[in-house]
Structure 1
């Protein structure tokens, strides 16, 4: 068995619940960062930058993840967090969203809507596994219908694509 390309995404929808969002994003990145179904890009709805993004960024940084952020996500990280993690937060460029990091690195991009997230994923992903964190059943369904990937999930870690049982730590 060889490695399959895995440029996987998690999209934090505007109504994503904080606890669920943190669990899904962190597990999607740190469970096995070099796996083909580990998240490589986090898409975050603009309305979450001053709220949920702070929690998610803190949890990722505490887990040892380097954040490679667009200008908006970068500027939304509180200065106290940025000062405490000077080597773990950097600016992104367009190549960041085409890179399978295979490490504890995560590209972060701000989007305006579910449609923008779907467009970004369909343009940049490897069509392996992508997930949305949302409380909206209709928008979760729209995401799964709109994203052209082998696995699309709602409120589940991208690592679930490999038979991972969420929360068990066992394979």
Structure 2
């Protein structure tokens, strides 16, 4: 076998061994809580998948809180939006995206270990079904208003009462 064939074979093996997370990117991440004494907070971002196979965000972890979960909102029988844990995770279609936004899907931090401070940031490890773990640095932006077209939830600036969540 020639040196050229050996190098070409090694390159091909390396190329196919690249992790799937090269197809997943996280954009426009930010986190917020409703105030300095809040016990909960949330992170929002856009997951982009440039790959040819769908993936799914199935978990998240961070040192910022005692419990980190994937949450969504559903319409209750009484017509009121309710927040609940989404145990199935969030599908990210092939060659597509999934937005985590206020009033919709998000990463929930419960039992904050300290206040979320404007301008600071923290790390969140996102776990994908195929791409595995991806760690993202999330800036805290307490002044950010809900994006155009999202639902306003709860009190001023999107605060939500998490004490009545379905778990």
Calculate the TM-score normalised by the size of structure 1.
0.29
Question: Is the helix fraction higher in 1 or 2?
Answer: 1
Question: Is the strand fraction higher in 1 or 2?
Answer: 2
Calculate the TM-score normalised by the size of structure 2.
0.30
Bigger RCO (CA 8 Å, 6+ sep): 1
